[in-house]
A and B are shown apart, each in its own frame.
Chain A
Amino acid sequence: MIQLLAWSWLFTLPGLVLTAFGVPSGRKNAGYASLPGPIITLIVAVIALVGGGSFSVGFENWLPFLPDGAFRSLADPLSALMLAILGFVASLVYVYSLGYMADDPDKRRFFVYLDLFVATMALLVLAGNLAVLLIGWTGVGISSFLLISFWRDRPGTLGAGLQALAANAVGDGALLLAASIVPLGCGPLVTLGSPQCTTGFGGAEFLALLLFVAAAAKSAQGPLYFWLPNAMAGPTPISALIHAATMVAAGVYLLVRTHALLALAPEVSLWVAVIGVATALGASVASLFQSNFKKGIAYSTVAQLGYMFAGVGVGAPFAGLFHLFTHASFKALLFLAAGIVIHGAGGREALRDLRGLGRSFPFSRWGFLIGSLALIGTPLITAGSFSKDAIIDVAIANQPVLGWLLLGGVILTGAYIGRLFAMVYLLPADDPHAIHHDPEAERPMNWSLVPLMAGAIVLGWLGGWLSGVLAGPLDGVEPLPPLLNFTGGLAFILGAIGFLGVAWYVQRPRVEPAAAPAETSYRPDAWVRAIADAGYAAAVGFSRAQSGLLARYAFGSIVAVAVVVLLRVSLR
């Protein structure tokens, strides 16, 4: 099975081709051909994860301009775990999308993009060297852009997609630089820390810094956070799959994969931890002030990714990976639950419009509640507590200041998710008739929540087993804290205080309704806009050359050829 897994990035491509060429025909049936891909990925990945072992595929000299230009893919328990997460969430998102996108005229295009995303994400996870990683890395960035801008006629979606593309380009550049300084013969990514790999320009410190920049861009950390909240302009299933569960976690995956290199660069590790903690706290505060339901959850994703970064930075790569694993399940649950309400409200996302509307969607309400409890880290009954406590525990042991900040941040986590839950699911609805139920479309959406609910509850118990399976590929893992430890209990109490306090505050009786929140927009910060405006001005200048007049183009190319020929003759 592990041999088959090494090729699993091909699994969704037949579905892509069939869907693109209209099989099965009819808009109602669009997307069914794509369904088997992620399900097969999930099954193969789980069997390979249980079976263990590793297998690599290599073709030498595939990209001759890079020092190590071989095509190398590596299937081991770590990539099997990531593919299992990808297959699990993707299968449910596919089913969910059959309902969510049922009325969309471009449903077929949507599934084609989804297949492209799953294929490139699988290639990213299976990468055995930086060249292949770079292809997957860029590929998921492009699919992310295509899906954020999926509704290209709606205002703001194209801009939001281009922001994501711009932020990802920073990471791609860093990764390309890393791929061009790592010498030949470094083997898989896990061994990037070995002595012969760090002899390139700048040594281990510089290489670790490049990988950190790439990971921060993909995972929306530090100053590169801005694209992820705006990426919510895309359809909700995309927010769940790409911008919560899988693609944004690729940065964490990369750092976990190369943690041996990070260990050689303690200053960079410290920066990873500091940026992670700062992002976690800042994004938690930002989430409290969002007027858009999905952007509120998106800032929560940024914050949780910050927790994972902090875990990797303080020397607990397994805890970070474990949190990635549980977070994928409960954050996808939160997004898909939110999507049911948004779908029922006709695509409106502003909290003001959704006030109390969640009360009439029981699946969504229970799903969001379970997801919130897992996010806060309710001990024993939800998965989030196992992994988040592991991060906080190691952080307090290794970097006490950062650890206590992370622990304190849990109160913010409880506060922002409590605010969202209370506003959408607890408050009485202003206008209960603002929703329309469509049982045909809701059935796949509702049922796809159930496995995620189960995952958000039980996946935490797999921690002990996973640490055994991953000890090999990660070259030893740090031990998990015991169940019901002191910091975990303290974190839960803080989170519960935040959740209940804010939920009560939102629900408190009042005479005058609060001032209407500002109109939701996907407008970025001023400094991002300044950079974008400069780029736009340059693009306008260059686009003058693209007049569309064929004669001008032909004249230009003939003149250019003549110049080249004359130069060649005169330099002879």
Chain B
Amino acid sequence: MNAESLVLGTSLGLFAIGAAGALLHRHPVAMLMAIEVMLNAANLLIVLGARTRGGADAEAAALIVLVLSAAEAVIGLALALALFRRKPVPDVDDAVELRG
């Protein structure tokens, strides 16, 4: 088994774990963590591609993903905080109505 397929397998596994977590959890912070895992899985794949193909553009894309995921976490945590204010144990499925 060479290094590429090892990294590829790790990336796929991480993505599957993240996707399952995002689908099954209903606590907003847990969902955010799962989404971060998915983003990192994708990032791993991008870096792997950059390694095999050479060139820095894909690595730049990976850095952008890092920045974007930080920004996304800020908004996501703000939403989570807003949910905490309403209920001690927040559940994203309670927020199906937009109004109020």
Contact = CB atoms under 8 A, between A and B. Distances in A.
B26 interface: yes
Interface string A530-570: 00000000000000000111110011001000000000000
B92 A550 contact: yes
Interface size range of chain B in the complex: 10 to 19
B97 interface: yes
A555 B95 contact: no
Determine chain A's interface SS by DSSP, over half rule: helix
B19 A558 contact: yes
B57 interface: no
A544 to B, nearest CB: 13
A558 B97 CA distance: 23
Contact of A550 (B19, B31, B97, B98): B31
B96 A548 contact: yes
Contact of B96 (A547, A554, A555): A547
Interface in B1-39: 19, 22-24, 26, 31
B62 to A, nearest CB: 19
B96 A551 contact: no
A548 B23 contact: no
B83 to A, nearest CB: 11
A551 B97 contact: no
Contacts of A549: 92-93, 96
B95 A551 contact: no
Contacts of B31: 550
24 contacts: A547-B96, A548-B93, A548-B95, A548-B96, A548-B97, A548-B98, A549-B92, A549-B93, A549-B96, A550-B31, A550-B92, A550-B93, A551-B22, A551-B23, A551-B24, A551-B26, A551-B92, A551-B93, A554-B19, A554-B22, A554-B23, A555-B23, A558-B19, A558-B23
Interface of B: 19, 22-24, 26, 31, 92-93, 95-98
Given A551-B23, A554-B22, 14 more contacts: A547-B96, A548-B97, A549-B92, A549-B93, A550-B93, A551-B22, A551-B24, A551-B92, A551-B93, A554-B19, A554-B23, A555-B23, A558-B19, A558-B23
